[in-house]
Amino acid sequence: MENWKTVYQSRLVTADEAVTHIPNNSRVLIGHAANQPPALVEAMCRNYRQYENVELVHWVTLFGSEYCAPEMQGHLRFNGLFISGSNRKAVAQNLADFTPTYFGQCPRYFRDGTLPIDAVLISVTPPDEHGFCSLGVSVGGTLPATQVAKVVIAQVNRNLPRTYGDSHIHVSKIDYLVEADTPLPTMESGPVGEVEAAIGRNCASLIEDGSTLQLGIGSIPDAVLKSLTDKKDLGIHSEMIADGVIDLYEKGIINGAKKTIHKGKIVVAFLMGSQRLYDFVHNNPDVEVLPVDHVNDPWVIGQNRKMVSINSCLQVDFNGQVNSESMGIQQFSGVGGQLDYIRGSFLSPGGKAILAMPSTAKKGTLSRIVPVFEAGTTVTTPRTDTHYIVTEYGIANLRGKSLRERAKLLIGIAHPKFHEELWAAYKERYGEDENFLSHS
Using a 10 angstrom Cβ sphere, with 0-12 exposed, 13-18 middle and 19 or more buried, the burial of residue 340 is: buried
Largest CA distance in the chain: 79
Tell me how far apart the alpha carbons of residues 338 and 227 are, in angstroms, rounded to a whole number.
Answer: 22
Catalytic residue among 42, 66, 239, 325: 239
Read out DSSP for 50-113?
G-SSEEEEES--SS--GGGSGGGTTTEEEEESS--TTTHHHHHTTSSEE---BGGGHHHHHHHT
Instruction: Report helix angle 194-204 to 219-226, nearest 10.
Output: 60
Q: φ and ψ at 70, to 5 degrees?
A: -55, -35
Tell me whether residue 239 is one of the annotated catalytic residues.
yes
> If DSSP codes are grouped into helix, strand and coil, which group holds residue 165?
strand
Q: φ and ψ at 410, to 5 degrees?
A: -70, -40
Tell me how far apart the alpha carbons of residues 44 and 48 are, in angstroms, rounded to a whole number.
Answer: 6
**End-to-end alpha carbon distance in the chain:** 67
| AA identity, residue 237 | H
CA atoms within 13 A on the CB side of 289: 29
User: Which stretch of DSSP H or E encloses residue 278?
Assistant: helix 275-281
Q: Which residues pair with 56 in a beta bridge?
A: 28, 78
**Which residues are known catalytic residues?**
239
